[in-house]
A and B are shown apart, each in its own frame.
Chain A
């Protein structure tokens, strides 16, 4: 029943595709190519849109820019801080939510709530939670005898503050996807294992983990990509600054800074491409591990 492509069919398809392709072409594909070229602009007249010279200067510049190095370092710390913790916590909660308990729907909605809310608005709420003297975080820490931490003004604590909030924000989405994955596991496996006398930990390790590997794989790719692009949280949590003494400066923040505040299009594009390459390499690594480890 497979129809062969025809000229007539192609024209008809183009008609259906035109609106999407025009938008995607102009605002997605064209800029991907353009920003690649732009990253090699070394002498550029923005007002006249004339390029006088091409070269590697932008890449050399960011390579030597300590600020860019800081933002790469911070972004990696952020990804390492958020992704594993978020995946482990959300898997755990998803497994608990997958048992036969009451109020499952209500629990699910509550965990998902941060996902639907504005990052900017919740970051401003967290700014108040992290307040050194009047924030509830330090109040609770005080109850267990820990001295107030200057979450947002101490460069050593800015990153942990950002990471804690981001884990909170990301849990719901991961939980939902894990729940869907868990519901696809045939219950028979657990029954069989139970008859064989496998403990619940063994059942988790030998049934849940391997059967859930495609889902975990998907969740980790999405989580890594999203974490590399962190920006809104930083901007709102530190009130339009990249943390005290640049302690929470991330790659996208750097790009924003170079592009929007300093009008250095070439440097911003070069940094954007570095970010793209990092994400690309990570996705490839994950795909490679996925091929070897994921059992379908």
Chain B
């Protein structure tokens, strides 16, 4: 009994030390973002600012067009998430419920392309410039409106919904399309919320693609804006940390609200993937 208590204490110590290491960068970021420039460069480091400089946030916000970057990030995230959900739901339905010619081949080809490093697809740049979309919203959104991984994940989930349900609905005169939206989609809520969250997080944090397809300041998303701000702001760390906090916060809040789903969903997607 005593031995068990001892090892339990050991587990707590490791987990607490581990979580402190995980949280430390966030604490350090937050603490620096509220310091005066004098306190930033102090050794030993000051953990709690003596006078909380909330105006750092205002200054950082005003030094670069962060309002514009935020609007761009919101537009891109919302539209590409909604779009991907629509294409995913329709495609997953076809792959799980309709038996058509070439289904297995099409599905295998799609799965095969998942291994190709997505962001290094250079010809997309050529395609987009031929369409005249460079430095415009469609370049940031349209290529990301469908995801093979999401289709695969939702198809697995749809396959688990008993077929008898759709036969019953058919007898009751319900069309396939209506059946999909009124019965299958609500039943697949855990998978759909997971896809939504992973997509929103991925889209909000995307960097290489927006960096390549945007040229003007007005079209930058938050991560791209932050890197250019960091070059311009140089070593003004309290402002850099304030800007970083502002970018990280929305997804942390979204995650804390919906964490129940995302952890389950990632785990499920992981096991089946």
Contacts and interface: CB of A to CB of B under 8 A. Distances in A.
B267 A180 contact: yes
Given A118-B204, A176-B270, A184-B271, 7 more contacts: A32-B116, A112-B259, A113-B255, A139-B43, A180-B271, A235-B211, A252-B119
Contacts of A186: none
Contact of A20 (B44, B146, B251): B146
B59 interface: no
A138 to B, nearest CB: 9
Most A CB contacts (10 A, CB to CB) among B19, B103, B212 go to B19
A117 B270 contact: no
A49 B176 CA distance: 45
Interface of B: 8, 11-12, 14-15, 18-19, 21-26, 28-29, 32, 40-45, 86-88, 90-91, 93-95, 98-103, 106, 109-110, 113, 115-127, 130, 142-143, 145-146, 148, 151, 163, 176, 201, 204-205, 207-208, 211-212, 222-223, 226-227, 230-231, 237, 240-241, 244, 247-248, 251-252, 254-256, 259, 263, 266-268, 270-271, 273
A120 B115 contact: no
A110 B263 CA distance: 12
B252 A117 contact: yes
A157 interface: no
Contacts of B212: 256, 259-260
20 contacts: A12-B176, A20-B146, A23-B142, A24-B148, A28-B146, A31-B121, A99-B8, A113-B26, A113-B252, A118-B207, A124-B230, A125-B29, A128-B240, A133-B43, A136-B24, A177-B271, A218-B273, A235-B211, A240-B231, A279-B117
A30 B109 CA distance: 12
Q: Would you call the interface of chain A mostly helix, strand, loop, or mixed?
A: helix
Contacts of B126: 34, 46, 49, 265
B124 A27 contact: yes
Contacts of A49: 126, 130
Contacts of B43: 133-134, 139
A272 interface: yes
A129 B28 contact: yes
Contacts of A20: 87-88, 90-91, 146, 151
B119 A34 contact: no
A209 interface: no
Contacts of B118: 28
A114 interface: yes
Interface of A: 1-7, 9-10, 12-14, 16-17, 19-21, 23-24, 26-32, 34-35, 38, 46, 49, 93, 96-97, 99, 101, 107-114, 116-122, 124-126, 128-129, 131, 133-134, 136, 139, 168, 171-173, 176-177, 179-181, 184, 215, 218-219, 222, 225, 228-229, 231-232, 235-236, 239-240, 252, 255-256, 259-260, 265, 268-269, 272, 275-276, 279-280, 283
B99 A3 contact: yes
A75 to B, nearest CB: 12
A231 B208 contact: yes
Contacts of B145: 19, 23
Nearest to B124: A31
B15 A239 contact: no
A119 B205 contact: yes
A139 B44 contact: yes
B251 A118 contact: yes
B28 A128 contact: yes
Contact of A111 (B19, B93, B208): B19
B273 to A, nearest CB: 7
Contact of B263 (A6, A108, A269): A108
B223 A120 contact: yes
Contacts of B26: 113, 125
Most A CB contacts (10 A, CB to CB) among B43, B119, B207, B259 go to B207
B255 to A, nearest CB: 4
Contacts of B115: 225, 276, 279-280, 283
A245 B135 CA distance: 32
B98 A128 contact: no
A229 B240 contact: no
B115 to A, nearest CB: 6
Contacts of A252: 117, 119-120, 208
Contacts of B117: 228-229, 252, 272, 275-276, 279
B208 A10 contact: no
A265 B263 contact: no
B28 A125 contact: yes
